[in-house]
């Protein structure tokens, strides 16, 4: 089964020090059919000065890697957009002025709080924080739906829709999303309306949880609502994690009613049927 890792990072992300070529070599060793660099584009005022996303440098690096390794696998140029309501005009202008293979939309901030910063959870319980985060994910998915015209999307993939559980587990020892199944359904419905493909993010398997993001029951709900494909990604920040969990993610999709993996090249979606 050809597998594509559509969520991974390089030293063009603020939180990664891996050379792109090392990741490409790792992908080849893993037998991947394709990989797409989706480095962080972080525009929150506190993070923008640290953002390393340089389109021209990354494009140059990927072009060189395609020349060297392109006969062995597909190497894509993507971007991971951090949803920031106050910065969306700037973000949309940036996306419109550059070309990509895929655009991920992810939520790392909610209500002025950074999901990954422990101090930003002051005054929140795991339950209230989870609900606030998921409502922001719903807002992001609905926002994406306002930019679908005649089949043209501004965003292609919704990244790790319940990422919050990684941090409630880390900070509080709790990671139960099931009380918010109704809110999850709203996110999935908004994603379908926006033609926004949810991702199975395998990183939570490596970070203390026994399920990916999202879990199998969410995949079942998506299939029941008419979803026919999802994306898969390792969210690797080092070469050793390239492709990690992708086979398990593909199996999870097939076992829970999703018959195909969505891959993107030049913003065009292709479906890879699962065997």
Q: pLDDT value at position 208?
A: 85
* Residue 35: pLDDT over 90: yes
CA distances from 263 to 127, 211, 229, 268 (A): 34, 22, 10, 8
pLDDT in tens, 130-187: 999 999 999 999 999 987 665 678 999 999 999 999 999 999 999 999 999 999 999 9
Task: Specify the pLDDT at position 275.
Answer: 86
Domain residue limits, the chain:
4-273
- Total Cβ atoms within 10 A of residue 133: 27
Contact 83, 136 (CB under 8 A): yes
Q: Note whether 130 and 105 are within 8 A (CB).
A: no
| In the chain, alpha helices (H) | 20-29, 55-69, 88-96, 126-145, 164-172, 181-194, 203-206, 216-224, 246-255
Taking only the tens place, the pLDDT of each residue in 207-257 is: 989 999 999 999 999 999 999 999 999 999 999 999 999 999 999 999 999
Token pair recorded at residue 96: 């419109």
Q: How far, in Å, CA of 125 to CA of 108, rounded?
A: 17
Predicted structure pTM score? 0.96
CA distance 230 to 220: 12
| Predicted confidence (pLDDT) per residue in 84-137, tens digit | 999 999 999 999 999 999 999 999 999 999 999 999 999 999 999 999 999 999
CB 102 within 8 A of CB 268: no
> For domain 4-273, is the CATH number 3.30.1280.10?
no
pLDDT on residue 1: 79
- Rounded to 5 degrees, what are φ and ψ at 210? -100, 20
Q: How far apart are CA 40 and CA 82, in angstroms?
A: 7
Give the model's confidence band at 56: pLDDT under 50 very low, under 70 low, under 90 confident, else very high. very high
């Amino acid at each position: 089964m050809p597998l594509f890792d559509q969520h991974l990072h390089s030293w063009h992300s603020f939180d990664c020090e891996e050379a792109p070529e090392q990741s490409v070599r790792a992908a080849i060793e893993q037998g991947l059919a394709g990989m797409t660099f989706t480095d962080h584009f972080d525009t929150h005022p506190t993070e923008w000065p640290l953002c390393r996303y340089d389109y021209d440098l990354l494009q140059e690096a990927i072009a060189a890697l395609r020349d060297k390794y392109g006969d062995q696998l597909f190497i894509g140029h993507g971007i991971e957009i951090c949803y920031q309501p106050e910065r969306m005009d700037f973000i949309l202008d940036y996306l419109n002025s550059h070309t990509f293979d895929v655009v991920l939309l992810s939520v790392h901030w909610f209500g002025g709080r950074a999901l990954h910063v422990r101090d930003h959870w002051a005054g929140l319980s795991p339950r209230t924080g989870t609900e606030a985060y998921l409502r922001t994910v719903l807002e992001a998915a609905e926002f994406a739906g306002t930019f679908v015209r005649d089949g043209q999307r501004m965003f292609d993939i919704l990244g790790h829709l319940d990422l919050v559980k990684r941090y409630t587990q880390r900070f509080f020892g709790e990671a139960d999303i099931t009380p918010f199944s109704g809110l999850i359904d709203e996110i999935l419905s908004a994603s379908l309306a926006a033609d926004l493909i949810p991702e199975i993010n395998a990183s939570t398997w490596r970070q203390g949880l026994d399920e990916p993001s999202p879990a199998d029951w969410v995949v079942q709900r998506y299939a029941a609502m008419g979803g026919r494909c999802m994306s898969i990604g390792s969210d690797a920040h080092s070469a050793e994690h390239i492709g990690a969990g992708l086979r398990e993610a593909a199996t999870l999709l097939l076992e829970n009613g999703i018959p195909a993996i969505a891959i993107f090249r030049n913003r065009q979606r292709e479906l890879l049927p699962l065997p």
